[in-house]
Amino acid sequence: MAFKYISSKENPYFKELIKLKKGYSANSLFLVEGKDIVFEAYKNSCLKEIICVEENDVTKQFNNIKTTYISKNLYKEISSFQSLNQKIIGICKKEYSNNLGKRCVYLDNLQDPGNVGTIIRSSLAFNFSSLVLSLDSVSLYNSKVIQASKGAIFHLPIIHNDLLSICRGYNIYLTCIDGKDIMEVDKLIEPFILVFGNEGKGIKKEYLVLGEKLKINMSNFDSLNVASAAAIFLYKYSQN
């Protein structure tokens, strides 16, 4: 297989990579970085191409995958890391299912890619069936989302959609700073959608009438990171 080498910022292929890094993809392609997660993509048949700085032991593992070499300077521009510790990026594609299952997590207008990736990881760890991102949330294809998910993105059905388009037939549970204390709610009734809101503003007002509000009782400081709150909810309502 022929290898390409790119060192110009004007190269059209490189320009496409920059778009992918930002989460813009017409073909649902996305980037993952670092050998562990690239290998995870490979195992799940999601790895389409590899980009790296130089040939090494890692790249040799993927000898049936199209490989492009790029200069260090270009690599740094598409990398999510400031150091050059990770020297391999995979271009991935995943087939998305619209089957949300009985235990769906919904993220309403989440903006921090680290939070979204972390919640994807927790959703998988605690056996939720799918995750839906609102249309105004950070893109699922944002490289930091993928990175923070640590490969969980390859295992969980995840789509972008609007809550109003998917809520029919589901019990809706809304995580808030008021509402019923989760200590008093042993179980969520399936099929359900568990909704988490924006980092600063919480869940959109118009959604608050759709179901039951639930809260975490805090001793102090009444404020939790949304991914931390999600971890507590997802653990509490995990299915063994």
Q: Which residues bind a second copy (CB under 8 A)?
A: 114, 118, 121-122, 124-127, 148, 150, 152, 155, 216-225, 227-232, 235, 238-240
Hey, what are 73's tokens?
């300077």
Hey, what are 98's tokens?
């619209």
Hey, what are 195's tokens?
């909704």
d(CA 176, CA 182): 11
- Give all strands of the β-sheet with 66-70 in edge-to-edge order: 4-6, 66-70, 47-52, 88-93, 29-33
235: Cβ contacts below 8 Å, ≥ 6 apart: 122, 126
Cβ of residue 12: shortest distance to a second copy, in angstroms? 26
**Which residue lies nearer to a second copy by CB, 64 or 219?**
219
**Which residue lies nearer to a second copy by CB, 68 or 118?**
118
**Which residue lies nearer to a second copy by CB, 70 or 117?**
117
Cβ of residue 9: shortest distance to a second copy, in angstroms? 20
Cβ of residue 107: shortest distance to a second copy, in angstroms? 15
**Which residue lies nearer to a second copy by CB, 123 or 134?**
123
**Which residue lies nearer to a second copy by CB, 3 or 235?**
235
Measured over the CA atoms of residue 109, residue 114, residue 115 and residue 121, the dihedral's sign is: positive
d(CA 87, CA 149): 19
**Which residue lies nearer to a second copy by CB, 165 or 240?**
240
Cβ of residue 29: shortest distance to a second copy, in angstroms? 24
19: Cβ contacts below 8 Å, ≥ 6 apart: 25
Hey, what are 64's tokens?
């049936």
d(CA 119, CA 231): 7
Cβ of residue 156: shortest distance to a second copy, in angstroms? 9
Cβ of residue 24: shortest distance to a second copy, in angstroms? 17
Helices (H), 35-128: 35-43, 57-60, 72-78, 113-125
AA identity, residue 19: K
**Which residue lies nearer to a second copy by CB, 68 or 137?**
137
In this structure, the number of other CB atoms found within 10 A of the CB of residue 118 comes to 22
Cβ of residue 225: shortest distance to a second copy, in angstroms? 5
